[in-house]
Structure 1
Amino acid sequence: MTRLDPDRYLHHLRRDSARFRDVLAGCDPAARVPACPDWDADDLLWHLAEVQWFWSDVVRHRPAGPDDELEARRPARASGHEALLAQFDACSAGLVDALAAADPAEAAWHWGPEQTVLASYRRQAHEVLIHRLDAEQTAGVEPEPLDAELATDGVAEAIDLMYGGDAPAWGRIEGGEHVVRVDLTDVGVALWARPCTFLGTDPESGKTHDGPHVLLVEDPGVEADAVVSGTAADVDAWLWKRRGREGIEATGDQAALEGFMAAVTPPID
Structure 2
Amino acid sequence: MDTARLATTLRTQTTRFAAAVTAADPTLVVPTCPDWRVRDLAAHVGQADRWAAGIVRTGVPAPIPDPADADPGDQAAWAKWLAEGAEELIDAVRTTGPDTAVWTLFGSLPAVFWLRRMVSDTTVHRIDASLAAGIVASIDDDLARDVVDEGLELLTAPTAADLLPALANLRGDGQTLAFVSPTAHPWHLTRTPDGVTRAHDRTDADVVVTASTPLLLSVITRRTPPTRATVTGDAALLDHWLAHTSF
Where on the TM-score scale, by shorter chain, does this alignment land: which range? 0.7 to 0.9
Cα-to-partner distance string for 1:28-49 (whole Å, 9 max, x where unaligned): 2222211112322211111111
**Which one of the candidate residues 54, 59, 70 is aligned to 2:56?**
59
Q: Residue 250 of structure 1: which of 231, 235, 247 is its match?
A: 231
TM-score (norm 2): 0.82
For residue 117 of structure 1, what is the aligned residue in structure 2? 111
Partner of 1:126: 120
Amino acid at match of 2:44: H
AA paired with 1:242? R
Shift >6 Å, 4+ stretches: 168-173
The equivalences for 1:42-121 within 5 A come to: 42-62=39-59, 64-66=60-62, 76-113=70-107, 115-121=109-115
Q: What is the one-letter code of the residue matched to 1:152?
A: R
Residue by residue over 1:208-233, the C-alpha shift from the partner in whole angstroms, topping out at 9 and shown as x without a partner, is: xxxxx53213537x954442221111
* Distance of aligned partners of 1:21 and 1:226 in 2 relative to their CA distance in 1, 3 Å threshold: closer
3-state SS of the aligned residue for 2:61? Answer: coil
**Aligned 1:75-224 pairs, distance under 5 A:** 76-113=70-107, 115-143=109-137, 145-162=138-155, 164-167=156-159, 176-185=173-182, 187-197=183-193, 214-217=196-199, 219=201, 223-224=204-205
Between the aligned partners of 2:33 and 2:129, the Cα distance in structure 1 is 11
Instruction: Flag the structure with larger Rg.
Output: 1
TM-align CA RMSD: 3.0
Distance 1:80 1:223 in 2: 50
Q: Could you say which structure has the higher helix fraction?
A: 2
Contact 2:28 2:132 in 1 (8 A): yes
The Cα offsets for residues 113-167 of structure 1, whole Å up to 9 and x where unpaired, read as 4611121122111001011111111111232x211112112222323313x3214
2:46 is paired with a residue whose SS is helix
How many residues matched? Answer: 239
C-alpha spacing 1:196/1:260, structure 2 compared with 1 (3 Å): farther
The DSSP-based 3-state class of the residue aligned with 2:103 is coil
Identity %: 22
The 1:29/1:176 distance shift into structure 2, 3 A limit, reads same
Distance in 1, Cα, partners of 2:87 & 2:123:
16
Closer, same or farther: CA 94–194 of 1 in aligned 2, 3 Å: same
